[in-house]
Amino acid sequence: MKHRSRLEIIAEILETAKTSKAIQAKIMHRVYLSYPQLKEYLSLLLENALIEYKQVERIYTTTPRGLRFLEIYKELNDVVVMTDNIIVR
């Protein structure tokens, strides 16, 4: 597995929490994180209101702010891919 940046991991967590009932185990397995790493990222995302935890259901969901983060992340990623494809002469 290639080295991933913090932003890539955050985007993967948000994507997982956006598309399914994301319990901790599901996020951990889909994003390939250890439990300590998962706890660190979930804390960061909760502090920044990018995800929310529904205690009764014990699931994480992506907030509107998290969805906006994903949109911006994907747009920036597309720009970087475009610039990588430009041949400099």
Does any domain span residue 31?
yes
Q: What is the pTM of this model?
A: 0.87
Domain count, the chain: 1
Domain residue limits at 14 = 6-85
Domain with 37 in it: what CATH number? Answer: 1.10.10.10
pLDDT at 36: 97
Does any domain span residue 1?
no
Does any domain span residue 44?
yes
What's the CA gap between 35 and 66, in Å, rounded?
Answer: 22
Residuewise pLDDT in 10s, the chain (89 residues): 578 999 999 999 999 999 878 999 999 999 999 999 999 999 999 999 999 999 999 999 999 999 999 999 999 988 887 776 665 55
Residue 29 Cα distances to 2, 23, 79, angstroms: 16, 10, 29
pLDDT at 51: 97
Does any domain span residue 19?
yes
